[in-house]
Chain A
C-alpha cells in the first residue's frame, strides 16, 4: 500500500490542529526541549513526507526515531490521533527506502528466529560469566562499538545462562480443579532476561487452576520491529503467532510482558493486519490476549494466603507505558501488590512517567534515555522502597541500570515474583 494510503496517514493526519498538547506530555521533549523532538513535530514531518516536501531519508528518520513510542501523546491527544502509529508508519516507509544491513540481521533474521536469538544470548551470557565484557571495558574495546553502544552496553548486565524455555516444559497441568486452558505468550524479554518471572507466572497460574501451554513455535510479538521500522517483519510475526495460537483452543492467552500485550491488542493487530486475509482470525486471537495482572485480579480474583507471606517489604510500582498508556491497565498491578501479605505498598510521584527504556531506545538514544531514567529513579527513591515492581522486561532492565547508577540497594521485580515467594 502506498504510504499516503495507509489508514493512519490517510485518515488521521488531517485531524491534527497542532495545539501542542502532546509537547507537554512527551518525556523526550521534556529533555530535548526543541520542536524537532515534539510529537507535534513528528506529525508535521509525517505530513511533509506524505506531501513530498521532504525526502524519505536518514535525516528525517533520525528525527522521527527520537520518539520512544511511550504513547503519552496518543492518550492525551484531544483530536484522538494515534501519533505513535503515524510515526511508526513513517519510519517504516523511510526504512524501506534506506535499508540497513545491521538492522536486517538483527530484526529480520536474529529476532525472527527464537532459537538463534537464544543461542546469541547464551553466548553473551558466557562472555559475561568469563568476565570478557568487563575486560573489554577495561581495555577500552567497547569504545569501538557503533553509535551509543559503548555507553549502552552497560545496560545489558547479568544475562542468565538458562532462558525460561529451558526451565519450563511446554505443557504445565493445572494443580487442583482445572478452570482455564491458558496459552502463555512468553515474550523474548522475559524468556531471555527474566526467566524467574516466567517460572513464577507458570507456578502462580497452575496453582490457581490453569493449564498453561507455551506453544514451542511462538515468535516475538513484533513490537521491537514496529519501533525499529521493520513493519513487514512485524506483520509476518503477527501472522505467524495468530495462526499458531488459534490452532490451540485457549480460553485466554496470558502474557506477563506489557510490551507483548500491547503489541497483541485488537487495535494493534488491526494496525498490522487490518484488511488482510486473516483480519478476523487476528481479532479472535487478540481478544483472548490479556495481561497477567489483569487476569489474576479481574478473572481469577486470586487471594494470596497468609501462608505465603513475604518478608515484610516496602514496594512501589512503576507503570510501564505499554500497560498504562497503551492498555489503560493501572489498577490491577497495584491491587495485586496490595493483596500480597507482607507487602507495604507505597505510590511514587509520577509513577506513570516513562522510565526511558522502551525496548531498544535506551541503546539507540542512551543519553536522552538516562535523563528520563534519572527522573524516574529520583521519584522511586523518595518512597524509600525496598523493591520497585513493574510488568515489563524492558522497564525492569532499565530500572536495574538506574538503581545501579545511583548505587541504590533496591530490587526490581515483577509483581508475580512477589506473589510466588
Chain B
C-alpha cells in the first residue's frame, strides 16, 4: 500500500484532526533528542494522535492487515531514536492522551493514560501525600508511557530504583490489534505472582511488543523531609570510596550524584554564580524520609564523607538545598559551554558500570577523549554506577562527527568490558542495537523469539533494541 493510500485510510479511521500527513508536518516527527536523528532525521509515513484504546486498536489492526510499521512515541525526549520510524511507518503520538484516569488512594495506586507528564502526575499525587518515586531528569517533559517503554529511572534510583517495580498492570494493544490486561483483569492488588509476568516483559520493551494504552502504577507515601549533602574531593578515587563507605554504614540515600572535574568546570562556565569549588570530584547526597531520620542519616554521611573530602556541607533548608543542587541540575546542558562553537551531543551518554569500576571508567573516558581530541564532560548517578558522558563537538564539522562516532563506540564497548551495560536508563533504541550481541550473547536469540511470538509480522517499532 503506498503512502497516499495509507494516509487516506488513516483519515477514514481517525478523522482529519488526529492525523498529520503533509510532508512538512511529518518532518517534525523525524527527531528526538539523539545525535543519530540530528545526523539522520527520518520522516514517518504519517503521524496519528489517538485518544482512546479503540482508536489505537483500529490503527494497529489496519497496520497489521497491511504490513505497515507502527512506532509509538511519547514526548520525543528520548536519546536513542527509539520513537523514530527508522524503517518507515506510522508514528503513534501518545503524548496528547494525558488523562489521569483514577487516583486510587485507598489502594495506593494510580491509573493513567500514556501521555501524562511525569511532574504533572506527581503534582496531582502530592494532594494525597503520595508520589511516584522514579525521578528522571526530564520530569517536566517526559511521559509516563515513555518511562514505562524505556524502564526509565533517574536521580533517585539509588533508593527507589527504576520504573519497573512500580508498574502493577498494563493495558496493551498487541501488534494484531487485540487488547490485553497484564497484572490481572480486575486487579487492584499490589502483590501478584500469578502467571508469567507479562508486565515485566512489556516494561522496557521500547514499543517492540505492543502499544501501552493504560498504566496502573504503585504510589509511595510522599516523604516529609529531605536533606542535601555536598562533598568536595581532591582525588577522584575518594568519591566512589566514600559512596561505598556510606552504604556500609547502613545508609541508603535517595540519590548520590557525581560531577567530575570536567563537569565542575562546565557548570562554572555556564552559570558563574553557582561557583562550584574547583576539585577532582563533587558528590551530592540526597536523603529523604522523616525529619529525625533525615537528620540522623545526614550526620552519618557527614562523618563518613569528612574522612576523605576536602569539605562537606549539609543542609535541610529549602533555599540552600536548591543552591547546592543547582550545579547538578544544569550540568546536562552546561556541557555545551566548554567550547564556544560546541554542541553537547547525546550519544554514548548512558553507560552503567559496577560501583567498584566508576573511577576507572571515568579515567578511561578521559583518556578516550584525549585520544580523539574531543572534550567530554562526565557526571551521573554514581550511587548506582550510571555514568552520563557528554561529548562536545561542532556537529557541523564532518571530521569531528566521524571522530565522535568512533569515540562513543569505544565508550559503549568500554562499559561492556568493565562488566557494565551500554545503557543504564535511556534505552537501546536505534543507536545501541549494534551492541546487543556483544552485551547479551545468545540471549539475544531468545529476545528475538519472544518478539516473534508477540509480533509475527515484525511491524512493532522495527529496527530497535536488537
The answer to the question of B28 belonging to the interface, with a C-beta cut-off of 8 Å to chain A, is yes
Instruction: State whether B49 touches A36 (Cβ < 8 A).
Output: no
Quick one: closest A residue to B97, CB to CB? A33
**Interface of chain A residues 326 through 381 with chain B (CB within 8 A):** none
Q: Classify chain A: how many residues form its interface, as a range.
A: 20 to 34
Give which listed residue, A15, A34, A59, A63, contacts B336 with CB less than 8 A.
A15
Instruction: Report how far A166 CA is from B395 CA in the complex, Å.
Output: 57
Residues of A within 8 A of B8 (CB): none
Do residues B28 and A36 form an inter-chain contact, with CB atoms below 8 A? yes
Q: How far is the CA of A162 from the CA of B29 in the complex (A)?
A: 51
Contacts of A54 in B (CB 8 A): 24, 27
Does B299 reach chain A (CB closer than 8 Å)? no
Determine which of B27, B33, B47, B76 lies in contact with A48 in the assembled complex, contact meaning CB atoms within 8 Å: B27
Across the interface, do A19 and B341 meet the contact criterion of CB distance under 8 Å? no
From B77, B95, B330, B343, A15 is in contact (CB under 8 Å) with: B343
Whether A35 sits at the interface, judged by CB under 8 Å, is: yes
Contact mask A109-151 → B, CB, 8 Å, 1/0? 0000000000000000000000000000000000000000000
Quick check: B24 and A59 within 8 Å, CB to CB? yes
Is A98 among interface residues, defined by CB-CB distance under 8 A? no
| Cβ of A349 to closest chain B Cβ, rounded Å | 12
Contact in complex: B77, A19 (CB < 8 Å) = yes
- Given A18-B31, A36-B20: A79 touches B333 (CB 8 Å cut-off): yes
**Contact (Cβ within 8 A) A34 B47:** yes
In the assembled complex, the Cα of A78 lies from the Cα of B328 at a distance in Å of 12
- Asked whether any CB of chain B lies closer than 8 Å to the CB of A102, the reply is no
B140 within 8 A of A: yes
In the bound assembly, the distance between CA atoms of A41 and B29 in angstroms comes to 9
A-B pairs under 8 A by CB, number: 85
Which one, B96, B138, B336, B341, contacts A79 given CB within 8 A?
A: B336
With A and B bound together, what is the CA distance between A257 and B336 in angstroms? 36
Chain B contacts for A33, CB-based, 8 A: 49, 95-96
Measured CB to CB, the nearest residue on chain B to A81 is B333
Question: Which interface residue of B32, B138, B140, B270 has the most chain A CB atoms within 10 A?
Answer: B140
By a CB distance below 8 angstroms, the chain B residues around A14 are 341-343, 394-396
B75 on the interface (CB 8 Å rule)? Answer: yes
Q: A14-B394, A78-B333, A79-B336 are in contact. Are A23 and B24 (CB under 8 A)?
A: no
| Closest chain A residue to B115, Cβ basis | A33
Using CB atoms, name the residue of chain A closest to B270: A80
Q: Kindly state the separation between the CA atoms of A40 and B75 in the bound complex, as whole angstroms.
A: 11
**Is A20 on the interface with B (CB-CB < 8 A)?**
yes
Considering only residues 355-397 of chain B, those with a C-beta below 8 Å from chain A are: 394-396
Shortest Cβ distance from residue B460 to the other chain A in the assembled complex, whole angstroms: 22
* Contact of A17 with B by CB under 8 A: yes
Q: A55 → chain B, closest Cβ, in Å?
A: 10
| B68 interface residue per 8 A CB criterion | no
User: Is there a chain B Cβ closer than 8 Å to A180's Cβ?
Assistant: no
Min CB–CB distance A33 → chain B (angstroms): 4
Q: With both chains docked as a complex, state the minimum distance between the C-beta of B143 and any C-beta of chain A, in angstroms.
A: 10
Query: Which of A17, A24, A41, A53 has a CB less than 8 Å from the CB of B141?
Result: A24
- Decide yes or no whether A21 CB sits under 8 A from chain B: yes
Q: Give the shortest distance, in Å, between B238 (CB) and chain A (any CB).
A: 30
Interface of B is mostly: loop
Contact with B along A26-62 (1 / 0, CB 8 A): 0000000111101011001100100001100001100
Shortest CB-to-CB span from B142 to chain A, Å, is 8
Given the known inter-chain contacts A14-B343, A15-B343, please indicate yes or no for A35 contacting B29, CB distance below 8 A: yes
Instruction: State whether A20 touches B346 (Cβ < 8 A).
Output: no
A60 to B28, CA, bound (A): 12
CA distance A44 to B142 in the complex (A): 19
Which of A19, A33, A63 gathers the greatest number of chain B CB atoms within 10 Å? A19
Q: Please, which residues of chain A bring their CB within 8 A of the CB of B142?
A: 20
Please report the C-alpha to C-alpha distance between residue A23 and residue B146 in the assembled complex, in whole angstroms. 15
Return the contact of A20 from the options B24, B141, B336, B345 (Cβ within 8 A): B141
Residues of A within 8 A of B29 (CB): 35
Do A44 and B28 touch across chains, with their CB atoms under 8 A apart? yes
**Cβ of B344 and Cβ of A17 under 8 Å apart?**
yes
- State the Cβ distance, A46 to closest chain B Cβ, in Å: 12
Cα(A17)–Cα(B34), bound, Å: 8
- Is B217 among interface residues, defined by CB-CB distance under 8 A? no
Residues of chain A contacted by B330 (CB below 8 angstroms): 78
**Interface hub of A34, A44, A54, A80 (most chain B Cβ within 10 A):** A34
Of B24, B141, B395, the contact of A21 (CB 8 Å cutoff)? B141
What is the distance, in angstroms, from B33's C-beta to the closest C-beta of chain A?
5
Q: Please judge, given known A-B contacts A44-B31, A60-B24, whether A20 and B76 are in contact too, CB under 8 Å.
A: yes
Chain B residues lying within 8 Å of A18, measured Cβ to Cβ, are 31-33, 38, 76
B window 333-349: CB within 8 A of A: 333, 336, 341-346
What is the minimal beta-carbon distance from B19 to any residue of chain A, in angstroms? 10
By a CB distance below 8 angstroms, the chain B residues around A48 are 27
Q: Which of B69-106 contact A (CB under 8 A)?
A: 75-77, 93, 95-96
Question: Nearest Cβ in chain B — how far from A187, in angstroms?
Answer: 34
Cβ contacts under 8 Å, B76 to chain A = 18, 20, 35, 40
Q: How far is the CA of A417 from the CA of B395 in the complex (A)?
A: 53
CB–CB A21/B140 < 8 A: yes
Min Cβ gap B288→A in Å is 24
In angstroms, how far is the closest chain A Cβ from the Cβ of B51? 10
In the assembly, what is the distance between CA of A19 and CA of B426, in Å? 13
A36 to B30, CA, bound (A): 12
Tell whether, in the assembled complex, residue B47 and residue A19 are in contact, meaning their CB atoms are under 8 Å apart. no
- CB within 8 Å for A34 and B96 given contacts A14-B341, A78-B333: yes
Q: Which of A15, A20, A34 contacts B138 (CB 8 A)?
A: A20
- A19 near B33 with CB under 8 A, answer yes
- Least distance between B466 CB and chain A CB atoms (Å): 25
Which B residues are in CB contact (< 8 Å) with A78?
330, 332-333
B343 touches A20 (CB 8 A): no
B20 pairs with A34, CB closer than 8 A: yes
List chain B positions with a Cβ less than 8 A from chain A: 20, 22, 24-25, 27-29, 31-33, 38, 47, 49, 75-77, 93, 95-96, 117, 138, 140-142, 270, 330, 332-333, 336, 341-346, 394-396
A-B residue pairs in contact (CB < 8 Å), sample of 27: A14-B394, A14-B396, A17-B336, A17-B343, A17-B344, A18-B38, A19-B77, A19-B138, A19-B141, A19-B333, A20-B33, A21-B141, A23-B141, A24-B75, A24-B140, A33-B49, A34-B28, A35-B76, A35-B93, A36-B20, A36-B28, A38-B28, A44-B27, A45-B28, A60-B24, A63-B24, A78-B332
Q: Which 9 A-B pairs have the closest CB atoms?
A: A35-B28, A78-B333, A33-B96, A20-B141, A14-B343, A20-B77, A24-B141, A79-B333, A18-B33
- Given contact pairs A18-B31, A34-B93, enumerate 12 new A-B contacts (beta carbons under 8 Å): A14-B342, A15-B333, A17-B336, A19-B33, A24-B75, A24-B141, A35-B29, A41-B28, A53-B27, A54-B24, A60-B24, A63-B25
